[in-house]
Amino acid sequence: MGYDISDYHDIHPPYGTVADVDDLIAELKKREMKLVLDLVINHTSNEHPWFQESRSSKTSPKRDWYIWRPATYDSVGVRHPPCNWRAAFGGSVWEWDEATEEYYLHYWVPEQPGDYLTNPDMRDALWDMMKFWLDKGCAGYRMDVIGRISKDLNFPDALITDPGSPWQPRHPNRKWLGPRVHEFVREMYDKVLSKYDILTVGELGYPLKDILEFVIPSRRELQMAFSFDHVRIGLPTGDRSQYQDWTLTEFKKIMTGWQNGLQDAGAWHALYLENHDQPRSVSRFTNDAAEWREACAKLLAMMHCTMWGTVYIYEGEEIGMINIPTTWPLDEWKDVATQNRIAEIRSRGVDIEKLTKITFGLARDNARTPMQWDATTHAGFTNGTSWMRVNDDYKMYNVVAQQNDNASVLALWKDMLALRKREEDVLATDPQLPEMISSIFADVRILQRALAE
């Protein structure tokens, strides 16, 4: 399920069946809507039959569908992984497998062994899987960590930047782009994407110059990409526990830099302020105190909808949902990244309560509470047991409470989306960015026919 995929052609039973997907696509079509699926091909579940076969023997035909390496040993014979890289959620990127006495690579958690797309048979199997869903009517893919599908197999030790840990972060991000990543994405385009009229957007947390190599139309790879610079503001190392204050000037520089850079290159932008991996935008970028919350949510909506690109809205953003209270007990935080961070902090003897704002204010769980539909039990999200409990403020902030209120955040979102559709020619023009005082972020759009008039 989720990002631990054990069967690319089926649905996890608690969520339904493939027939349910067929029905969903059909019902969406009636409403002139389309379904875009999340594509996860950097890794599979360790329960996937491919990995089970790979780990069964060093001579398995699928052994090289994943990345296996022998151990290293120190002078006293203690076993160590091939290198000291830290996994995204803590610990080593290597997991020891007793059956074949080798390590396998995973970038996040041991349950997500990394695919080795250098094997052409694996690539063909993945391309066939993509066609399976596209033939059913899927209208495109959001491609999870697509920049990592090619791996640099040298595995040199990272520099020691965290002396208190045996595992070190790997920097810079450029190094995560393997040597054959563009070859693989272009092959995907030639064999799959080019055959369908679909949307493609890649999750690519890299500098502008690197992302342009994926999204410039003449390269025949992806249509657009999610950039990370704005959601990493205040996090120079990417470590969410090392948050630093930032200024509006810095934020403006990031946002306008991406707008101008992509437009100058003839590429397209994927606009977002929050998602399942980020805290709520009102809490992250503005002030979520009761007296400012709605005004700030509207301000962000106006900025979001007047920028150049495709707008992506995360569930709850349209009603101004905010982070969950920091008063929630630690055992209510479900995300593996947060739980691993809590364990690490405690192991170092640090008072976790002193790090509450840093640790929890940027945690991914902030965006994973149930969507707040109404003021009933579980905010109308489910009659069952939800993954996390609903945010404490759901009785006041929900869709039903806002849908007939012309002054609500939801109403403003509707107005802004209508404006985008009505004035699409204006929003497609080059932004004129006037020199303003540091406390103002503004741009001007001028339609040439308006000047002629």
**Cα maximum dimension of the chain:** 83
Look up residue 453 and give its amino acid.
E
Q: What is the DSSP string of 27-46?
A: HHHHTT----EEE--SB--T
Contact 273, 281 (CB under 8 A): yes
Q: Which two tokens stand for residue 377?
A: 């039990």
Distances (CA, A) of 184 to 116, 189, 190, 271: 11, 9, 10, 25
- Four-CA torsion 388, 382, 34, 221, nearest 10 degrees: 10
Say how many CA atoms lie within 13 Å of 297 toward its Cβ.
Answer: 25
AA letter at 445: R
Containing 357, the helix (H) or strand (E) segment is helix 356-361
Pair type for strands 102-105 and 140-143: unpaired
Beta bridge partners of 102: 97
Q: What CA–CA distance (Å, rounded) separates 79 from 347?
A: 23
Q: What three-state secondary structure class fits 238?
A: coil
200 CB burial (10 A radius; 0-12, 13-18, 19+): buried
**Among candidates 372, 366, 367, 362, which has minimal Cα distance to 393?**
372
Active site residues: 144, 203
Q: Give the tokens for residue 131.
A: 């066609």
Q: Strand, coil or helix: what is 270?
A: strand
* Residue 267 region by backbone torsions, left for phi larger than 0, else alpha for psi between -120 and 50, else beta: beta
Alpha helices in 316-373 (DSSP H): 336-347, 356-361
The label of the residue with tokens 């995204």 reads: 88
Question: Tokens representing 368?
Answer: 């994973």
